[in-house]
Structure 1
Amino acid sequence: MTNKQRILDRFLSYVKIDTQSDPGSDSTPSTKKQWALANLLVDELREMGMQDVNIDEHAYVMATLPANVAHKVPVIGFVSHFDTTPDFSGKNVNPQIIENYDGGDIILNKEKNITLSPEYFEDLAQYKGQTIITTDGTTLLGADDKAGIAEIMTAMQYLLDNPQIEHGEIKICFTPDEEIGRGAHKFDVQKFGAEWAYTMDGSQIGELEYENFNAASAVVKVTGKSVHPGYAKDNMINSLYIAQDFISSLPRLETPEHTEGRQGFFHLSNMKGDVEESELHYIIRDHDKKHFEARKKMILDLGEEICTQYERDCVHIEIKDQYSNMKEKVEPVKHIVDLAEKAMKAVGVKPIIKPIRGGTDGAQLSYMGLPCPNIFAGGHNFHGKYEYVPVESMQKAAEVIVKLAQLTSDQYK
């Protein structure tokens, strides 16, 4: 059993460091402040006795736990990211610790009347009696993915402290910029040297995922013609109205708030404009590759149709693929998922195998030659003030890592 206080202390020290990434930056990491946690992790890894601890010029932290068995065992890895989302403040995080949670409402911020309630967030009720870490209602918490880092660090320390637990060589890596889709962009898979790995970046306890969205972004630029409104008849072309036509022509129920499971969507994430020019930013998501390609085609066809309606070249669309469904790369080595499932059951966790309605570093890494399913880190309500994580879920995640190391060794005896 991993030490509860040790994993709690680690997690609290990590979340108090602001590591918010910035999609507007071209550097890696995208923000200088991510270096603070990256360098701290390097120091901690060396102090605990990990080998080959290094950090590269882009803040990727890698380390090795040598094998303690004579027989040949595949090298496995564990990966988490240390940046937090740009969507919500990660500065001056002030975690609240709720011991022996009573199952009722948790007051996050009395002054601002912010409450974390199981009536709205139903998953909260299942953690009655446990230790819950929440925000103070003014920032996110950072369990995505500092919980994963705390779990990997705690598991490595446990294996170092308990050499009687047999395992092969284990690689770990902590990455920047996952939240802006660039966590794997400068990941050196060859240097990492693992045959397969697991991202510790899922949500509630038990999650095990090896399917994710195919993803693309679309920027729709609409041009109009601005003239004095007093003399606009037959001359003005208002780009805002054309943009409105574009938005309303896409399937209204195929949006995030109306879809679940493997259902894909179009998501209008941002818009700006005036009479002369408008710009729409969409993300396109679908688990099914054929449906995904059809969605991209629908966007392009709609642009052409609207240009025809207005009898002018008024809509320009740029679509960029972002990542692909890892299922294609993981299914041929499905035994790595089976091992994770077996490890969960061995430590008393019921596996919840489901598709990710999003993406992880593991999706990109799988296409870079490192098959990489995703395991729960334990947090809920990521990217906002209602984020929380039960300490017991983090403990179980660390135990899954330890058990995975042991089972992999046992399987290859």
Structure 2
Amino acid sequence: MQHIIDRFISYVIIDTESDASSDTTPSTKKQLVLANLLVKELKEMGMSEVTIDENGYVMATLESNVKHAVPTIGFVSHYDTTPDFTGANVKPQIIKDYDGGDIILNKEQNIVLSPSYFKDLLQYKGQTLITTDGTTLLGADDKAGITEIMSAMEHLIKNPDIKHGKIRVGFTPDEEIGRGAHKFDVEKFGCEWAYTMDGSQIGELEYENFNAAGAKITFSGKSVHPGYAKGKMINSMLLASKFISKLPKDEIPEKTKGYEGFFHVVGITGSIEETVVELIIRDHNEMKFKKRKEFIHKLTEKFNKKWKGQFGGDIASAEVKDQYYNMKEKVKPVFHIIEIAEKAMIELGIKPLIKPIRGGTDGCQLSYIGLPCPNIFAGGHNFHGKYEYVPVESMVKATQVIVKIAELTALPK
């Protein structure tokens, strides 16, 4: 267990925050620090075909140790961390034999990780937790996944009596800004299927995710001296505010769960003359997803119709772009890959939690470019913020799940 702790900490102290405003891949050069470290470690542990391409995608092979034909499978994780919260100067704290009470992350700033608010903590009483110091995120999303894949490959290399087919591992940049699979070479990876190790609590097994789109609505205004503005000024910021008020008030992240979709305003920038509202659209159901996108366009048209007389033309424009789709459609035809993962968990005494992802992973995009790729738990909680933590025992179990999937896939039919 200490080996996994040491490996995980060596990864999270490296700042790998991605940047959506950048047009390079990786979006930040600092991501390559960890990518190159992984290349070095993969070579040292005895993996073959270890490569890193010009875009920072790392791949490696563990050759089969059986004579019969076995499907080539893969395991994938991303090494960037979200720009939503700082990932610089991460100082992990290790809480041994967690007692079920409050955890003081930062005494000076009175930052407390409490089970009274984060109830999932209570299921890890008696375990070893790794937390932040309250000033950064932790980076378990997805450096826990990387730790587990690396540890599983190392275990298989050191224990050749465990039979397995050819295994490919892949580590990607920029997943947190939606680009993790954009330049992933599926043909080079050469797998029949793969798994992302990018879920949360122990037992999660996911093959459904949101259909996702991003929308940008631009409102135009007319600036006039406020003392002489009656009947003349059009304040685009107020138009944007009215637009937001017309969105379904209960269909937001704070009020939805499970399969329920939402509209989520993620940014507003503006002046009297022009205001831009950015939002994301999410729904598991394909038809509902389509209707949500249509709603944005129709609402924009209503604003244009209402203001055409005073403004003299379209006062608003909406740009809606699809981001990714529900991987369910690509996984269902090869559902045995879910059954293998489920069986692996059961044999290890883990209760599978098969549920939809309220988000996306590299796997959903990979599934649509030829690599069916469901998602397995990596163990962390409270991603993208200072309350992030991961139970070490969950990382150990995830490592064992990878090994067990390799074993089950290699069983003679």
Give percent identity, aligned residues only: 69
Please give the secondary structure, in 2, of the residue aligned with 1:225: coil
Q: Cα distance, 1:348 vs. partner?
A: 1.1
Any idea what the Cα deviations from partners look like across 1:353-408, whole Å, max 9, x if unmatched? 00000000000000010000000000000000000000000000000000000000
Aligned residue among 9, 12, 28 for 1:12: 9
> Which residue matches 2:42?
45
> Would you say 1:79 and 2:79 are equivalent positions?
no
Any idea what the Cα deviations from partners look like across 1:158-179, whole Å, max 9, x if unmatched? 0001100100000000000000
> Would you say 1:349 and 2:350 are equivalent positions?
yes
> Which residue matches 2:341?
340
> Would you say 1:100 and 2:97 are equivalent positions?
yes
For 2:231 and 2:3, locate their aligned partners in 1 and report how far apart those are by CA, in whole Å. 72
For 1:35 and 1:290, locate their aligned partners in 2 and report how far apart those are by CA, in whole Å. 40
> Which residue matches 1:140?
137
> Which residue matches 1:362?
363
For 1:271 and 1:300, locate their aligned partners in 2 and report how far apart those are by CA, in whole Å. 18
The TM-score normalised by the length of structure 1 is: 0.98
For 2:215 and 2:136, locate their aligned partners in 1 and report how far apart those are by CA, in whole Å. 29
> Which residue matches 2:172?
175
> Which residue matches 1:395?
396
Aligned residue among 266, 272, 276 for 1:275: 272
> Which residue matches 2:218?
221
> Which residue matches 1:90?
87
For 2:330 and 2:193, locate their aligned partners in 1 and report how far apart those are by CA, in whole Å. 11
Any idea what the Cα deviations from partners look like across 1:290-313, whole Å, max 9, x if unmatched? 000000000000000011111241
Q: Cα distance, 1:238 vs. partner?
A: 1.2
Please give the secondary structure, in 2, of the residue aligned with 1:400: helix
> Would you say 1:247 and 2:244 are equivalent positions?
yes
Number of residue pairs matched? 409
Aligned residue among 203, 206, 215 for 2:203: 206
For 1:101 and 1:328, locate their aligned partners in 2 and report how far apart those are by CA, in whole Å. 41
> Which residue matches 2:59?
62
Structure 2 unmatched runs, 5+? none
For 1:402 and 1:237, locate their aligned partners in 2 and report how far apart those are by CA, in whole Å. 63
What RMSD, in angstroms, separates the aligned Cα atoms of the two structures?
Answer: 0.6
> Which residue matches 1:386?
387
Q: Cα distance, 1:274 vs. partner?
A: 1.6
Please give the secondary structure, in 1, of the residue aligned with 2:37: helix
For 1:20 and 1:243, locate their aligned partners in 2 and report how far apart those are by CA, in whole Å. 31
> Which residue matches 1:314?
315
The TM-score normalised by the length of structure 2 is: 0.98
For 2:173 and 2:95, locate their aligned partners in 1 and report how far apart those are by CA, in whole Å. 30
For 1:235 and 1:225, locate their aligned partners in 2 and report how far apart those are by CA, in whole Å. 7
Q: Cα distance, 1:81 vs. partner?
A: 0.3
Please give the secondary structure, in 2, of the residue aligned with 1:337: helix
> Which residue matches 1:111?
108
For 2:405 and 2:368, locate their aligned partners in 1 and report how far apart those are by CA, in whole Å. 23
Please give the secondary structure, in 1, of the residue aligned with 2:213: strand
Any idea what the Cα deviations from partners look like across 1:121-150, whole Å, max 9, x if unmatched? 000011001000000000000000000000
Structure 1 unmatched runs, 5+? none
Any idea what the Cα deviations from partners look like across 1:225-274, whole Å, max 9, x if unmatched? 00111111111111122112211111111111011000000000111112
